[in-house]
Amino acid sequence: MLYAILCYHDEDVTCSWSKEQDAAVMAKLAVVQENLARQGRLGPVARLLPTTAATTLRKDRDPPLVIDGPFAETKEQLLGFYLVDCDDLEGALAVARDLGAANPGGSYEIRPVGVFRPGSVNP
């Protein structure tokens, strides 16, 4: 089953990492990802730019309203996600724990994927 691991963290904190700290976290995460990729279990991975670059389209009205910033004002922000193929929740939690050991602080939301299309983008 495909699981999304949604990464939440306080952006103020991650933006305070020095370049070296950031690179160190990314290098550790890459090890976990390579492991998953070798097993053929790693789907798309994305790291999002800061929420200051975000725009929200509120479509509960007509015409839809464009708002600066992320959809939800929360203490922790959605900063990225992984798609990982796991047997069950325990498997997904194990992956999340491995990722968490490489990148402490914040939270991972583990969410089973309903529909997945690999898409065609190749930037």
Partner 1 sequence: MTDMDWIESALTSARPQAIGALLRYFRDLDAAEEGFQEACLRALKAWPQNGPPRDAAAWLIMVGRNVAIDRVRRERKQEALPEESAISDLGDAESELADRLDSKHYRDDILRLLFICCHPDLPATQQIALALRIVSGLTVKQIARAFLMSDGAIEQRITRAKARVAEASVPFETPGAVERSERLAAVAAMIYLIFNEGYSANRAEAGARAPLCEEAIRLTRLLLRLFPTEPEIMGLAALLLLQNARAPARFAADGSIVLLEEQNRALWDRQMIAEGLALIDKAVRHRRRGPYQIQAAIAAMHARAAKPEDTDWSHIELLYAALEQLQPSPVVTLNRAVAVSKVRGPAAALDVIEPLAARLSGYFYFFGVKGGLLMQLGRNEEARVAFDRAIALAGTAAEAAHIRMHLDRLMKPAPPLPVARAAQ
Shortest Cβ 61–partner 1 spacing (Å): 18
Q: Does 17 bind partner 1 (CB under 8 A)?
A: yes
Closest CB to partner 1 among residues 35, 55: 55
Q: Does 64 bind partner 1 (CB under 8 A)?
A: no
Q: Does 62 bind partner 1 (CB under 8 A)?
A: no
Q: Does residue 123 contact residue 14 with C-beta atoms inside 8 Å?
A: no
Burial annotation 85-112 (CB, 10 A radius, 16+ → b, else e): bbeeeeebbebbebbbebbeebebebee
**For partner 1, how many residues bind (rule: CB under 8 A)?**
25
What is the binding site for partner 1 (CB under 8 A)?
10-19, 21, 24-25, 49-53, 55, 66, 68-69, 75, 104-105
